[in-house]
């Protein structure tokens, strides 16, 4: 059995994790705790080209390709947003670009994030998702063109 999961499998695992919580206060706390566990984000990466536009909070995202997989690092100055970043990293980090492109982000609806986040937080989450999908599409096209 392989330990490499797909983005779809990661979404399912995340949904199962959230089923352990009975209410949204506990889910919010879990999201915030996930954000506290994000790896350090170097200050020199906090540049305008890495800043996500459309977020109420400051959010920076860095990416690089490692062995055909996309590795993302991101950070926010807001606890709940850092938690949302951690949720995205669980699903999309260190995945093949084609896997990312092929995976619909249904976890937003399945978790109820689309109903339980403020409009500004939803906009920010969607902006982060758009960046991840843009990077993945570009990397996927480069791979397809190189073959």
Q: Catalytic site residues?
A: 55
Look up residue 47 and give its DSSP letter.
-
Mapping DSSP to helix (H, G, I), strand (E, B) and coil, where does residue 71 land?
strand
Instruction: Judge residue 52's burial from the number of C-beta atoms within 10 Å of its C-beta, 0-12 exposed, 13-18 middle, 19 or more buried.
Output: buried
Write down how long the chain is: 147
Give 75-78 contacts, CB < 8 A, sequence gap 24+: 75/38, 75/41, 75/46, 76/35
Tokens 């709940």 sit at which residue? 80
Tokens 């209410």 sit at which residue? 23
């Amino acid at each position: 059995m392989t330990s490499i999961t797909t983005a779809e499998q990661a979404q399912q695992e995340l949904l199962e994790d959230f089923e352990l919580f009975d209410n949204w206060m506990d889910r919010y706390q879990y999201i915030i705790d996930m954000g506290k566990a994000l790896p350090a984000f170097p200050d020199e990466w906090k540049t305008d080209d890495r800043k996500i536009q459309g977020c109420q909070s400051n959010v920076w995202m860095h990416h690089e390709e490692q062995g055909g997989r996309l590795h993302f690092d991101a950070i926010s100055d807001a606890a709940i947003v850092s938690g949302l970043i951690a949720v995205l990293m669980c699903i999309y980090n260190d995945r093949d670009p084609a896997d990312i492109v092929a995976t619909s982000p249904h976890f937003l609806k399945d978790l109820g994030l689309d109903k339980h986040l403020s409009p500004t937080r939803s906009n920010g989450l969607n902006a982060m998702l758009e960046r991840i999908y843009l990077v993945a599409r570009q990397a996927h096209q480069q791979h397809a063109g190189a073959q």
